[in-house]
Amino acid sequence: MRTLAFLAVIFLILPLLVFAGGQFGLLKGRPPAEPGLREGKLKPPSRTSNSVSSQAEQWPEGEFASEYATIEPLRFTQDSALAMNRLRDVLAGWPGARIIDESPDYIYVQFETRWLRFVDDCEFLLDPAARVIHVRSAARIGRRDFKVNRARVEAIRRRADLR
């Protein structure tokens, strides 16, 4: 009988509690204290496997450039203003996305998952000379993101089709 009660807690009650916590916003985490640029570039990715950055290798001694964290920037061939506008349009229509801050060369967007309402912070920075848009995307909570940020950035890259 105790085993059955234990299994009920594990497979029924615990998932319901996690779901309820997500619905009440307990899994959103805290927004970054200082989103935006540092030393003219996006903040480095975290040292854990919960973020990606196209500028990971630009930080001191590549300490943030783990294989997991490094991702290619979004390359474009069109006019830089058109590329940023296209990216903005894609982000504005993305499910669960909310653009928090934007300028002609920078976009900060938050992505919220549907069921548990986890929030990931994502930033894009235009580098017109290199014809790229740098990206940093990070989960707010947890030490792993199970490649969600990488998959989202790659999906944005495909949908924006800036080439």
CATH code of the domain containing 103: 3.30.310
pTM of the model: 0.83
CA nearest 74: which of 138, 155, 162? 162
Same domain, 35 and 101: yes
CA nearest 84: which of 101, 103, 100, 111? 103
Same domain, 8 and 44: no
Q: Which domain holds residue 69?
A: 31-160
More confident residue, 107 or 44: 107
Same domain, 23 and 84: no
Same domain, 1 and 43: no
Residue type, 26: L
Instruction: Compute CA 83 distance to the chain's CA centroid, rounded to the nearest angstrom.
Output: 19
Q: How confident is the model at residue 142 (pLDDT cuts 50, 70, 90)?
A: confident
Q: In total, how many domains does the chain have? A: 2
